[in-house]
Every structure is written in structure tokens, then in C-alpha cells.
A = this chain, B = another copy of it.
Amino acid sequence: MNLVDDLTAGDRRALARAISAVEDGGPEAAAVLAELQSRVGKAAVIGFTGPPGAGKSTLISAYITHLRRAGRSVGVIAVDPSSPLTGGAVLGDRARMASHIDDDGVFIRSLAARGHLGGLSAAAPFVVDLMDAAGFDVVIIETVGTGQSEVEIAGLAGITVVVFAPGLGDHLQAIKAGIMEIATVLVVNKGDSPLAAATAAHLYAALHLNAGGHREVPIVTTTATTGDGVGDLAETIAGLLSVRPPSPADAPRRLRRMLAALAAENLKEKLLRGTNPEIDSICDEVRGGRLGLAEALRQLARIA
């Protein structure tokens, strides 16, 4: 029996080992990936993101409880920022998911974040595939923080839930950072706050102010600590999934997006720190007005 056969048959230790293998790379990863191809495309992949303090982990935990009552199994991928400062806070949040630890229908795995800007680990799309192949009905990806990781999560997930706390102005920052454009569902959590309704109204206005933006993004108010609104959120997600159900085409799409992000990051790093004299000469040509931007970018890409 190989690892992928075992994990497909429900062996959780095999799943954990396969995830470690694709995280590490190397020959065992290649074998796992080769076996994985035909077994993916059944899981609904849902991203949860939003600023720290919005109550994401508590909300995810309440959503998992809801899914478990409906008999669905759930894999969770949690991306820890590498910062030692925030690492602590995140682990604290994670403890709130402890209620699911003894439940064989829930599998939680942390992945290290890549680089200081918090990009997702390069293995993330494969970990999604592995959980998918392991038969989880739903795979949840949780990221913390603002910036790159939100945009990457939307590349992996079919549905991206962006969670805000009322007030705080985080939603204004999110609007500014383009986070709204990746959201398929907006959540105002801590719905028992007196500011919740105003924040929801702000988000509604922001969605409809966007130039040409007639994208309908549902806004759901929840109170994760009491469970209020979590059923509404689950129904909203189910409705979106019924319109665009999971498909075998999802896995290659996830991988392509991740490779595109990694290739770009890789190129940038090489151009910034590389000592290839060709880089300098291309830059000199641009500075001298002798080389146009488009052609310069083409030449620079070839250097990687």
C-alpha cells in the first residue's frame, strides 16, 4: 500500500505523513503527487481571512460544529505568520478549535507562512489536494493578517469569506488594500456589538461604490461566541456552492495560481539580489531611454 492509497482509505496518520512529505519536497513528495492526480476535485475549498481580532478562529470553529451536525467532514489548513509576536496570538486562537481535536471528522494542520510578508507556503495547494483526496467534504484555509496572503488564499479557495469585527476601521483598510475584490462572502462578526449594523452598512456601501462594481457579495452578521448567524453563513456558503460546485478542474487551477505567485516572487528576488551583469546593463539601457519598459521586462524575466 502506498501513502496516497492509505490516506484515501481514511488513514489520518498517512495523511499527516503525506502532508509532511509535500511540505519537505524530495522524492517521497514526487511519488505522492503522482498518485494524487485522479483523486481530487470533490472537496469544497473555503478560505477564511480578515484582520487579527475579528474572531476568525472562533467563527471557523462554530462553522465546523455546524458542518459536523450536518454530517460533513472538515479539513482545516491554518497558516501561521512566521512572526514570533503574532505566532503566540495565533496559537492562542487555535486553542479555541480544541473542541474538535477528538473528532475524527475534523483534521487541523498548521502550515508555516512563506517569507515575512506572510505568503502561503508553496505546498499549500498540494495540502488542499491531499485533504480533498482524503475525502474531507470541506477544506477550510485560514490566514491571518493583511496583504499578500489574502490574495493568495482567493487563488486556492473556491469561496473566500472575509471576516471583520465591528468598528475598528479594519474594513476601510481592507477596501483600500483591494481585499473586497477577492471576497465572495463578507462577515461582520461580533454581531452583538452596537457598531455591527453600521459596519455592515459601510461594507454594503463600499461594495456598491466601487466603479462598475455590481458584483453581489452577501454580507452576513454573526456572533461566533454564541453561534448566532452561523447557520445563515453556512446557508450562504451552501447556496454559492450549489451555483459553482467543486470540480476536478479546481486542483490544476489552484496549482497554476500558486506557481504564478512563486515564479513572480522568485524572479523579483533574483533581480534584486542577483549579480548577473546583464541586469545592470538592462537597467542602464532603461535609464538612458534607449530601451522601452515592455522589452526591458521581457529581457529581465529571461534572466531567471
Contact = CB atoms under 8 A, between A and B. Distances in A.
A176 to B, nearest CB: 4
A265 B264 contact: yes
B176 A287 contact: no
Given A259-B297, A286-B255, A301-B304, A211 B34 contact: no
> SS class of chain A's interface: helix, strand, loop or mixed?
helix
Which of A34, A173, A265 counts the most B-chain CB atoms under 10 A from its CB?
A173
Contacts of A284: 252
Interface stretch (A81-89, A185-193, A225-233): A81-89
A118 interface: yes
Interface in A267-295: 267-268, 271-272, 279-280, 282-284, 286-290, 292-293
Contacts of A151: 117
Contact of A287 (B173, B255, B271): B255
Contact of A290 (B25, B34, B148, B266): B34
B256 A289 contact: no
A32 B53 CA distance: 50
A301 to B, nearest CB: 4
Given A177-B118, A209-B85, A272 B260 contact: yes
A146 B300 contact: no
Given A33-B287, A33-B289, A85-B206, 13 more contacts: A31-B289, A86-B172, A116-B181, A118-B177, A170-B173, A256-B271, A260-B267, A260-B272, A262-B293, A263-B268, A263-B300, A301-B302, A302-B304
19 contacts: A52-B172, A52-B173, A52-B176, A83-B175, A83-B210, A85-B175, A117-B178, A118-B178, A144-B176, A145-B177, A147-B177, A173-B173, A256-B271, A256-B272, A256-B279, A259-B282, A260-B272, A263-B300, A264-B264
Interface of A: 25, 29-34, 36-37, 51-53, 81, 83-86, 116-118, 122, 144-148, 151, 168-170, 172-173, 175-178, 181, 206, 209-211, 251-252, 255-257, 259-268, 271-272, 279-280, 282-284, 286-290, 292-293, 296-298, 300-302, 304
